[in-house]
Structure 1
Amino acid sequence: MRRTFQWPAVLSPAAPSQDPHSNETESNGNHPTPSAASRRNRIIFGGDYNPDQWPQTVWDDDIRLMREAHVNTVALAVFSWDRIQPEEHRWDFDWLDLIIDKLGHAGIAVDLASATATAPLWLYEAHPEVLPRDKYGHVVGPGARQSWSPNSPVFREYALTMCRKLAERYGRNPYVTSWHMGNEYGWNNREDYSDDAQRAFRDWCRRTYGSIDALNAAWGTTFWGQEIHDFDQVLIPRYMGADAMVNPGQQLDFERFGNDALLDFYKAERDAIAEICPDKPFTTNFMISTDQCAMDYAQWAHEVDFVSNDHYFHEGTLHLDELSCSDALVDSLALNRPWYVMEHSTSAVQWKPLNARKRKGELTRDALAHIAMGADAINFFQWRASAFGAEAFHSAMLPHAGEDTALFREVCALGKTLDRLADTGLAGSRLQRSDTAILFDAQSQWATRSQTLPSGKLDHWHDVRDWYQAFLNTGMRADVVPLAYDWSGYHTIVLPTVLMLSDADTRRILDFAQAGGTVVIGYATGLVDEHFHVGLGGYPGAGQGLLRSMLGIRGEEFNIIGPQADGDADAIALTAAEAVSDPTNSHTTATSRLWQNVISVTDPHAQTLAFYHGDAADDWDLDGVPAITRNRAGKGIAYFLGCDLDVNDLTTFIRLNLDATSAPPNPDVLHTVRIGDTTAFDFYFARGKQGAKISQVSGEPLVIFRGSPGSNTGSYTLQRNGVLITMRNLTTPCADE
């Protein structure tokens, strides 16, 4: 387990005089490496740079404009394997030497990729066996990204040769300050059904289970007569027919295997370079937004020197809230240390059905929001908009229309702002923790995709996002923390659709509550264990009934509704418990539209906070059945939300049960704090279309973007997409919003 922390250096604009490709040691006085101060105090700003798409006559102009925009780092050679190795036995580093020299002499550092995200066509022609296959047995052809099997020993050897060549060439180059391994591992090869994958999956099962009896027990192979008598009989879950349902334990292990295969490939590439160049930090770009989280990044984060993420915005009212939710998870993965935005967009992308541009101010607002959530690096895909290819209409820092554009001017202004913030000592400060952790588990997200669940509409990650937004609606902010990490220091934990809980994790939850914590269990949490086995004795069955006992309830069935059943109600109302005893006060307090647990209260100390109520509830035999409960668990409290609720209803639940603040904060504002050694930085973002007003702000204003000071000292008005950043010493209280 690597889990070091090294941050990439930022170069001084002064150019070293010695040939940077020399293998001489760096202690000769003519070949300085960036200073330690530059590592601590600067915010990295730049993006993917693809000079191999352009004639060399463009390169000097690129660098001139990069300096104008305050760019200090670029990612280089991400998709350049075919330019570096145009033939199997011919290598061409001249162009890469030249552009690295030009960038370095301009004070622009290079985050050098391993160049293995896409292989050259000659490799596919010589070794078509390196291509992955889909579940139908179709070969996944070359021509896009990641058209290779991570399980192919042939491909691995070629890729590691490339890594070693790059390390030998640039390992001592002072302009190369970090290594960018691969690119978005799993984007096109997350699931590989090739023959190499079949062999590797059998080996993975041997290592994981040790005996065939243990595997049979984990997969429950006695169902449908699937018992396996030898590891050589283990199959990957290829296509089995249009109506077939894959064994969920087998499918879940195949997901784990795919994650592990790509992680192992990343580590092999990293280690090949580290053997030659051990002193520069390694990273790879995760893909975390609440529309994707392909890997179990709680595992991956242990293997990088600094955490990096690619984030692309979600249009509409979710834009800022979704960004901060995703970033909250990234900050937790980084263990609250600075992390790196490897890619985001200046405006529209080109890969959605509708590609909305960013509105006025959103380019800057989004970048500063990433900073507010703990990032110390802001990078875009890409520097110069491509004139051709699949991403030609993807926005860039320098658009097709050139430098005389509003977009490029905003990029330049952002670069100046980031430099000004760095001058205040912001870089290296850490995001202040919340009192509440929403727990996320990538493997539970994979499990919700199973075709064998009571509903195919479960989405753990989207439920995390809904809870996160609901906390913002109350004026509070929650952290998003991997289930596998340590969350014992929080006051409250929320488990939304954490479908899968092991006995050990269930015990951790109980211990947390008994020590005085508040636990909120969602409607589809703890239904199966890590092998997709259902706990017996009633729902939720996690921990051999331990979770159910803590909650003081017992579920017998799930009531699944929806608009697809003609004539049946597609929504069921909830009413507060006190209204049931006094019909004159009866009113709907919330509405469930998908999933209702049919439960009874088993602990005499447990309270029912809301019941299902009304004609629709009566039609489904739910009228008067408990919907939301609360129980004492040792020194703590355990809530059970027995049905799905929308964001507005979750907001109400939080306000009534979890809001411990003495004065109501401002729900129109996203407020975060970054803490340095002696200084705190407060970030305020207007969440809605109408902007926001903030009062009693203390500290020195550093940035007022799309906003203005009010008539009273410490008051500000923010327009839509407005941002206020202030700096104060740590003895000064933050704003009364």
Structure 2
Amino acid sequence: MTTRRAFRWPTLLTPTGRGIAYGGDYNPDQWSEDVWNDDIRLMRKAGVNTVALGIFSWARIQPTEDTWDFDWLDRIIGKLGTAGIAVDLASATASAPMWLYEKHPEVLPRDKYGHVVHPGSRQSWRPTSPVFRDYALELCRRLARRYGDNPTVTAWHMGNEYGWNNRYDYSDDALAAFRRWCEARYGTIDALNEAWGTAFWSQHVNDFDEVLLPRHMGGDAMVNPAQQLDFERFGNDMLLDFYKAERDAIAAICPGKPFTTNFMVSTDQCCMDYAQWAGEVDFVSNDHYFHEGESHLDELVCSDALMSSLALGKPWYLMEHSTSAVQWKPVNARKCHGELVRDALAHVAMGADAINFFQWRQSASGAEAFHSAMVPHAGEDSKIFREVCELGATLRELSDAGLQGSELKRSDTAILFSAESEWATRSRTLPSMRLNHWHDVRDWYRGLLDAGERADVVPLAYDWSGYHTIVLPSVLVLSDEDTRRVARFVHDGGRVVVGFATGLLDERFHTWLGGYPGTGDGLLRDLFGVRSEEFNILGSDVAGEPDEITLSNGAVTRLWQNDVTSVAADTQVLATYAGQAAAQWELDGVPAITRHPYGDGEAYYVGCDLDRADIARFAPQLGFGGSSHDGDPRTIHTVRGGDGIRFDCYLNRANEPVPCTYDPAGSPIVTYRCDSDDSGMVTIGRNGVLIVATVLSSPCERSRR
């Protein structure tokens, strides 16, 4: 992992500068100024102590190319500061004013078909446009000169959700930048030709000036997958470079305040390689929006597990989530049964020291008018605002108890996530187009929760050598070095579990010869003591063929089975394919799940897809279970510790009340939707949260936090 910037957390305008940050995106430029004083009154009532300001305000700040208007921003920052509310000031570059697009249409991106991406939404600009960069950096410098010494502005919020609308740009600026990027990555054109396998389909290029973007090539054309993977990397790097340019323009004038930008991590989106981005911010931030239905809490905690790892266990900043429904899904479910408060406290339990919403006041017009907010259309006299106030009071109690600044205790198990493997699974050239690495991470995370085991989610690129067990679910892309890291981990006494599509490709999207899994030139096969020759792919759209196969342990596979044709003498077969469907596919008796000793450790090979329920049933065979609260799968238990205090957080993930026993030396400080009896037993109700603080009396106790 590359060198990171030093961790710096934004201060609040409290007497100590500390406390859990609470607030949201504030867009006063959407409202007449007679609303501002009422906003301040309601913020104080709700316990708001910070707001993100100016995210989409470029047109208000610079109404024409030659005019600047900071007066309104001065006034609202002054009002907020007087009220004790800190400002996380945005660079305001997420969307440019319409006059800029009109004067410089050359900054607009192009899609893969060559069509112009027109303005009117967010991020209608090319990350590689030198024209756009000049305008954006001038805005950054003017903001820094005006507000760099303002005590109310305690942090800088660069851009907004980089890559939301311009992750893929196929313009001529992008082409020129891609050619430079390729030359920097490969050095010689021969190295690029080797990496891209250009001998196939006569794609050899003689010079970097012949390198093309993977634009649309026809109705049934298949893009060179190595070229496409590099284009994914390039898009990530170009936006990261743009972020750093903005950050550095401000830091040159105002270096003393921390910088961040909001990631977009949920298990339906993780478009950037945030393992890289996390090293370039002073504190890690995320926008998370809930998944409706039964996966709601589990998905939230899984996403947060990755965020905590990106933050290296330090507190992280929830920059956006919703009080209730959003407006951009086919079905926009609302939050109910206390989920507004429960979700916020779940983020705290997973290491967040800032709880913020999009947005403060619900818009009266525009594309997000029906996106919920802290102050809804119904106003102050509403259920949502009362819950917002209840949450503010609860966060203040946690701040007073000293939770802010405490760090999340890590688990014994790490599920490894790779942005490059997620990108690779989107290729249209794989044995199955139904692969999804991030969803497999989520399914393993939830399956282990069902077995009473809470895992961490850790980027593959990070250091995971200190864990007892690592799980690699469909980590499709493994470099030689990462393959050796996995082998060393097991050899030194660790335990690894790999999924069916792990290690099929190296970082160049090349396979290896000799059988599967192939990475490391056979090292991975040696590690697991198995060799597979072919993939068996199922699908309900194949008429007359079985669309699922049963395993001898009762599990069912519905997508992918590796046809394992040889196993090492010391490999233990834990399950085979069995039954009529297996026989029809010539898989009856073929090993499906195996265990192999390697050095001082052990390696488990799961050669087929398993659903969440089967993962949970299989987990005890791998020694999983029991690290959550007393092994009760209905409860998620996390621990935060620091300054001699341990905070035990218990989340009810069931639809029924769950009894909870905690250390009697502790004192409950949050009992949201909980009931207690005379004996001190606490029952956590549906969507309930219990947080217990325990003062640690000895260094030994503190080391166990």
Normalising by the residue count of structure 2, what TM-score does the alignment of the two structures yield?
0.98
Once the two structures are superposed, what CA deviation does each residue of 1:608-638 show, in whole Å capped at 9, x if it has no partner? 0000000000000000000000000100000
Is the counterpart of residue 705 in structure 1 residue 672 in structure 2? yes
> 2:625 and 2:249 mapped to 1: Cα distance?
51
**8 Å contact 2:480–2:519 — kept in the other structure?**
yes
Give the CA deviation at 1:600: 2.8
Q: How does 1:167-316 map to 2 (within 5 A)?
A: 167-316=144-293
Residue type matched to 2:283 in 1?
F
Does the 8 Å CA contact 1:629/1:641 hold for their aligned counterparts? Answer: yes
User: What percentage of residue pairs aligned between the two structures are identical?
Assistant: 67
Question: In structure 2, how many angstroms separate the alpha carbons of the residues matched to 1:664 and 1:403?
Answer: 42
Displacement after TM superposition at 1:664 (Å)? 5.6
Output aligned runs, 1:527-676, within 5 Å: 527-576=504-553, 589-659=554-624, 661=626, 665-676=631-642
Q: Is the 8 A contact 2:516 2:531 kept in 1?
A: yes
- The code of the aligned residue for 2:466 comes to G
Cα separation, 1, equivalents of 2:544 and 2:202 = 39
Unaligned 5+ residue runs, structure 1?
13-34, 577-588
Shift in Å, 1:380: 0.1
C-alpha separation in 1, matches of 2:496 and 2:134: 49
Amino acid at match of 2:671: I
Q: Equivalents in 1 of 2:566, 2:490: separation in Å? A: 19
What amino acid maps onto 2:567 in structure 1? T
Please name the residue that 2:104 is paired with.
Answer: 127
What is the CA–CA distance in structure 1 between the aligned matches of 2:396 and 2:660, rounded to whole Å?
Answer: 26
Distance of 2:528 and 2:216 partners within structure 1 = 40
1:695 positional shift: 2.5
| Residue 602 of structure 1, CA deviation | 2.9
Q: For the Cα contact (< 8 Å) 1:668–1:691, is it kept in 2?
A: no
Query: Take 2:625 and 2:177, find their aligned partners in 1: how far apart are those partners?
Result: 51
Tell me which amino acid in the other structure corresponds to 1:80: S
Q: Aligned letter for 2:545?
A: D
Which residue of the partner structure matches residue 498 of structure 1?
A: 475
Q: CA deviation at 1:246?
A: 0.2
Unaligned runs of 5+ in 2: none
State the alpha-carbon separation in 1 of the partners of residues 271 and 442 from structure 2.
16
Contact 2:625 2:631 in 1 (8 A): no
- 1:710 CA displacement: 3.0
Q: Would the aligned equivalents of 1:317 and 1:688 in 2 still touch at CA under 8 Å?
A: no
Q: Which one of the candidate residues 311, 314, 317 is aligned to 1:334?
A: 311
Q: 1:153 pairs with 104, 107, 130, which one?
A: 130
Aligned position for 2:361: 384
Separation (CA, whole Å) in 2 of partners of 1:712 and 1:731: 25
Q: In structure 2, give the amino acid aligned to 1:624.
A: G
Write the distance in 1 (CA, Å) between the matches of 2:284 and 2:623: 31
- Tell me the CA shift for residue 691 of structure 1: 2.8
How far apart are residue 711 of structure 1 and its match? 4.1
1:346-370 CA-partner distances (Å, limit 9, x unpaired): 0000000000000120000000000
What is the CA–CA distance in structure 2 between the aligned matches of 1:116 and 1:696, rounded to whole Å? Answer: 48
Q: What is aligned with 2:686?
A: 720
Deviation by residue 1:578-633 (Cα, 9 ceiling, x = unmatched): xxxxxxxxxxx200000000003431111000000000000000000000000001
Instruction: State which of 674, 681, 685 in structure 1 corresponds to 2:651.
Output: 685
Partner residue, 1:323: 300
Report Cα offsets for 1:138-192 as digits up to 9, x if no partner: 0000000000000100000000000000000100000000000000000000000
**Displacement over 4 Å in runs of 4+:** 660-664, 731-734
Q: Give, in whole Å, the separation in 1 of the partners of 2:4 and 2:696.
A: 33
- For the pair 1:694 / 2:660, whether they are aligned, the reply is yes
Shift in Å at residue 469 of structure 1?
0.6
Is 1:730 aligned to 2:696, yes or no? Answer: yes
Partner Cα separation in structure 2 for residue 82 and residue 657 of structure 1: 57
Question: Is the alpha carbon distance of 1:425 and 1:80 closer, same or farther for their aligned partners in structure 2, counting shifts above 3 Å?
Answer: same
Deviation of residue 98 (structure 1)? 0.3
Q: Distance in 2 between matches of 1:218 and 1:466?
A: 32
3-state secondary structure, aligned to 1:292: coil
Q: Separation in 2 of the partners of 1:386 and 1:134?
A: 30
CA distance in 1 between counterparts of 2:103 and 2:253 reads 28
Query: Cα distance, 1:731 vs. partner?
Result: 5.9
How big is the shift at 1:697?
4.2
Query: Alpha-carbon deviations, 1:125-144, whole Å to 9, x = none?
Result: 10000000000000000000
1:448-471 CA distance string (max 9 Å, x none) = 000000000000000000111111
Tell me the distance in 2 between the aligned counterparts of 1:617 and 1:664: 38
Task: Figure out how many residues of one structure are paired with residues of the other and give that number.
Answer: 696
Deviation string 1:240-299 (CA, Å, 9 cap, x unpaired) is 001000000000000000000000000000000000000000000000000000000000
Instruction: Letter of the 1:700 partner, please give it.
Output: S
Q: Which moves more between the two structures, 175-184 or 679-688?
A: 679-688
Q: Matched residue of 2:631: which SS? A: coil
* Structure 2 partner of 1:361: 338
Q: Deviations 1:481-506 (Å, cap 9, x if unpaired)?
A: 00000000000000000000000000
Match in the other structure for 1:469: 446
TM-score calculated relative to the size of structure 1: 0.93
| 2:26 matched residue in structure 1 | 49
Could you report, residue by residue, the CA deviation over 1:89-144 in whole angstroms, capped at 9, with x for unpaired residues? 10000000000000000000000000000000000010000000000000000000
Aligned residue identity for 1:640: Y
Q: Identify which of 31, 50, 60 aligns with 1:83.
A: 60
1:580 aligned partner: none
Give the whole-Å Cα distance in 2 for the aligned partners of 1:696 and 1:356. 34
For the residue of structure 1 that corresponds to 2:35, the secondary structure is helix
Partner Cα separation in structure 1 for residue 491 and residue 39 of structure 2: 60
Q: Is the CA contact 2:87–2:152 (under 8 Å) kept in the aligned structure 1?
A: yes
Aligned to 2:7: 5
Aligned 8 A contact 2:578 2:589 in 1: yes
Counterpart CA distance in 1 for 2:201 and 2:451 is: 49
Q: Aligned-pair RMSD on alpha carbons?
A: 1.3
